[in-house]
Amino acid sequence: MTGASPASRRSVLGLSHFIGETSEEFDWTLTLDVPADKKQILNNQRAESVTLFLTEEHGLPVEWIRHRPQGPLAEKRPKIRLGGDAVTVGVPDPEASGELLASLGFERSDSSWVLRSRLFRSLSLHLDRDPDESPRPKVDDRGLTSISLLVKDLDAVAKTLPLLAHQEFSLDGVTKEIAFFSGEGLLLEFLMVKRRSREGSR
Amino acid sequence: MDRAEIVAVVQEFFKNEVDHADVVQDDTDLIEAGVLDSLLMVMLIGHCEERLDIELDPEDLTEDNFRSLSTIVDFISSQA
C-alpha cells in the first residue's frame, strides 16, 4: 500500500503549513465536523468538531486547532524546529518509513529524509530520527504537532496511501480539500486547493 | 497556443484573485514582492489548466517558473 508511486511523488508540491493544538482563545475562523475516522487522529473519541485559526510563527503559516469537547492537553516537547531555510520534524524512525517518504518525494540525506519544496525551493523539510517520539502520533498535544503538505492531486496520493478523514471546506472564499495519513510514526495532512468561489469574501 | 491567449488568462487570474494586481509589471518578482504564495500558485496552476485546457507537468512547477508574469507565460507557452 505504501509502494513508491510516481503519481503521488509528482503530486506533492511542498510544505503548506504546520498544525498545532492550543488552549488559547483565538477568534476561531472555521468550525469543521469530525468524521468518525478523525477521532483517532485527534485522540479524542468524543470530539464533535474542530475549530481552526490561522497565524504565523517565524514567517511560516500555522493552523491552530482545538477540538471540542476538549480533553486535557499534554505539553509537547519541541517536535518541530524552525531555523533558517530548514524545518526539522522529529519522527521515531524515518528509515522505517523510507519507502513511504520516497513515494511522496522525500530524499535521503545523511541522517534525514528531506523534502525540498518545488514551489518554494528555499525551504526544505527535514525529518530527523527522534526515538522519543510516539510511533502513533496524534494531534492531542499542546504545541506544533503535525505538518500539512500541499498537493496538486489528492486522488493521486490516495492511490498510494490509505488516507483518513477526507473533508472539503471553504475558507476566505477558497475551497480546500484535506485528508490525513497516520501510520509508521507519521501524521501528515494533505491539502489540495481548489477554486476560489465567485461569491468569495476577498 | 497563442501567447496572447496565455497572457490574457494569466492576467485574468491576477485581476480576479490577487490584491493590488495593478502594480504588478511583467518583470515584477512576484515572490519577493509577496504577491504570490504557494496557495495562490496552486490556484493559478488550476486556473490555467482549466482555461487553456492543458495539463502542466508537476515536475516543472518550480519557483523559477513562477517568478514573474513573464516567466509564467514563458513556462506555460513551453508546455502548451
> Is A59's Cβ below 8 Å from some Cβ in B?
no
Burial A110-149 (b: 16+ CB within 10 A, else e): eebbbbbbbbbeebbbbbbbbeebeeebbbbbebbbbbbb
Count of CB atoms situated within 10 Å of the CB of A151: 27
Instruction: Count A/B contacts: CB-CB distance under 8 Å.
Output: 54
Please name the residue of chain A whose CA is at the shortest distance from the CA of residue B13. Answer: A196
- pTM higher than the cut 0.95: no
pLDDT of residue A1: 45
The ipTM is: 0.75
Tens of each residue's pLDDT in chain A, 202 residues? 444 456 666 788 888 888 888 877 788 778 999 999 898 888 888 889 989 888 887 677 888 888 888 777 777 666 788 777 888 998 989 998 899 999 898 999 988 999 987 776 667 899 999 888 888 888 877 778 889 999 988 998 998 899 999 999 988 778 899 999 998 889 999 999 876 654 443 3
Please name the residue of chain B whose CA is at the shortest distance from the CA of residue A175. Answer: B43
Inter-chain residue contact A193 with B43, CB threshold 8 Å? yes
